[in-house]
């Protein structure tokens, strides 16, 4: 295992990326454990960080850590020295804290424990998947091998460059089509495995996607096919994804203890009108 790690991670210059990857995952898991314990009102655990009446979300600490790690990574001369590895770890910690509240940034609302809050977990999953592929040596759209021409290849280099640019343009076009068809994961993973883009671009679009709204008339054969595929294949996958999300990140759309106390009137505050319109959150 040690030889494999040295050969595949250290000797290939991926040690900073590996440390970023590990720090990202560990920080995300610990953050979710922390917020779930706070949400469950565990008496011996920490409480929310506040400055007066202002609740300081952990995205603030994430931005600070990303700034420190990013600036340090640029300032350290050697890209593979231990200080650079430490900077990559700090940046990974900050990135996890920021993406864990991605939904808050996206909606500019405190939606952490609501249905919209699942966007944060999706963003974390995407970051883990992309970083994991990069660690395995999979480059997006084959972006490698054109930095230094081999001896004797100077004449062939222009032709190879033309072929590469043409292939890149086609793959990017297929990725755009897949994204317009509502296939986010297919479009992102296809950047690393181009054959996936072909499948995503050829198959029918998801109902409600921009492609479906533009080209599928309501009641048309393609629209009915899209609805059937959504109900037969996509819905079970979405249910499984939500189960995994809630297993890792906690159940959404449940009233936290402090909101429950307000609702029952024990704190003298107004009761919440409805669970669906709740905006309070424990972090």
**pLDDT above 50 for 272:** no
Q: Which of 8-22, 69-83, 135-149 shows the lowest per-residue confidence on average (mean pLDDT)?
A: 135-149
pTM: 0.72
* Share above pLDDT 70 across residues of the chain, in percent, rounded to a whole number: 82
Here the tokens at position 180 are 């317009």
User: Could you tell me if residue 13 is inside a domain?
Assistant: yes
User: Could you tell me if residue 27 is inside a domain?
Assistant: yes
Q: Band of the pLDDT at 79, cuts 50, 70, 90?
A: low
User: Could you tell me if residue 238 is inside a domain?
Assistant: no
Give pLDDT, residue 77.
Answer: 78
Give pLDDT, residue 271.
Answer: 36
Identify whether the C-beta of residue 97 lies closer than 8 Å to the C-beta of residue 31: yes
Residue listed under structure tokens 């883990």: 128
* Cα 277 from Cα 275, distance rounded (Å): 5
Q: Band of the pLDDT at 142, cuts 50, 70, 90?
A: low
Here the tokens at position 35 are 């917020």
Give pLDDT, residue 155.
Answer: 63
Domain count, the chain: 1
**Mean pLDDT of all residues in 19-42:** 91
DSSP assignment of the chain, as one string?
Answer: -HHHHIIIIITTT-HHHHHHHHHHHHHHHHHHHHHHHHHTT-TTS----EETTEE--HHHHHHHHHHHHHHHHHHSS-TTSHHHHHHHHHHHHHHHHHHTTHHHHHHTS--TTSGGGHHHHHHHHHHHHHHHHHHTTPPGGG--S-SSPPTT-TTTHHHHHHHHHHHHHHHHHHHHHHHHTT-HHHHHHHTTSHHHHHHHHHSPPPTTSHHHHHH--TT-HHHHHHHHHIIIIIHHHHHHHHHHHHHHH--SS---HHHHHHHHTTTSSPPPS-GGG------
Distance of CA 176 to the CA centre of its chain: 19
User: Could you tell me if residue 113 is inside a domain?
Assistant: yes
* Cα 218 from Cα 207, distance rounded (Å): 10
* Share above pLDDT 90 across residues of the chain, in percent, rounded to a whole number: 22
**pLDDT above 80 for 173:** yes
**Mean pLDDT of all residues in 164-168:** 80
User: Could you tell me if residue 202 is inside a domain?
Assistant: no
Give pLDDT, residue 3.
Answer: 80
pLDDT digits (tens, 9 = 90+) for 86-130: 999 999 999 999 999 998 898 888 888 887 888 888 889 989 988
* Cα 268 from Cα 264, distance rounded (Å): 9
* Cα 267 from Cα 210, distance rounded (Å): 47
User: Could you tell me if residue 162 is inside a domain?
Assistant: no
* Residue 94: how many other CB atoms lie within 10 Å: 24
Here the tokens at position 144 are 């490698």
Q: Give the mean pLDDT of the chain.
A: 80
* Cα 244 from Cα 247, distance rounded (Å): 5
Here the tokens at position 238 are 């979405």
User: Could you tell me if residue 274 is inside a domain?
Assistant: yes
Residue span of the structural domain in which 277 resides: 1-138+253-283
Which of 260, 14, 5 shows the shortest CA–CA distance to 133? 14
User: Could you tell me if residue 175 is inside a domain?
Assistant: no
């Amino acid at each position: 295992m040690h030889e494999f790690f040295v050969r595949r991670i250290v000797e290939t210059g991926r040690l900073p990326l590996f440390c970023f990857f590990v720090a990202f995952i560990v920080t995300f898991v610990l953050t979710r454990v922390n917020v779930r314990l706070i949400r469950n009102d565990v008496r011996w655990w920490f409480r929310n960080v506040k400055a007066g009446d202002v609740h300081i979300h952990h995205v603030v600490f994430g931005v600070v850590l990303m700034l420190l790690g990013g600036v340090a990574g640029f300032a350290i001369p050697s890209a593979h020295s231990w200080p650079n590895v430490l900077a990559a770890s700090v940046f990974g910690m900050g990135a996890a804290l920021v993406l864990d509240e991605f939904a808050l940034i996206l909606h500019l609302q405190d939606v952490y424990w609501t249905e919209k809050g699942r966007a944060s977990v999706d963003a974390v999953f995407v970051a883990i998947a992309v970083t994991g592929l990069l660690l395995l040596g999979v480059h997006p759209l084959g972006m490698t091998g054109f930095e230094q021409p081999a001896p004797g290849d100077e004449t062939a280099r222009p032709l190879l460059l033309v072929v590469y640019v043409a292939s890149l343009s086609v793959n990017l076009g297929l990725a755009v089509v897949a994204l317009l068809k509502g296939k986010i994961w297919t479009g992102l993973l296809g950047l690393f495995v181009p054959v996936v883009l072909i499948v995503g671009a050829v198959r029918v679009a998801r109902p409600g996607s921009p492609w479906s709204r533009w080209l599928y008339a309501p009641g048309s054969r393609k629209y009915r096919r899209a609805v059937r595929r959504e109900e037969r294949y996509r819905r079970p996958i979405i249910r499984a994804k939500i189960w995994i999300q809630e297993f890792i990140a906690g159940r959404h759309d449940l009233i936290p203890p402090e909101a429950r106390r307000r609702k029952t009137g024990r704190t003298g505050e107004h009761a919440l009108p409805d669970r669906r319109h709740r905006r309070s959150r424990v972090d």
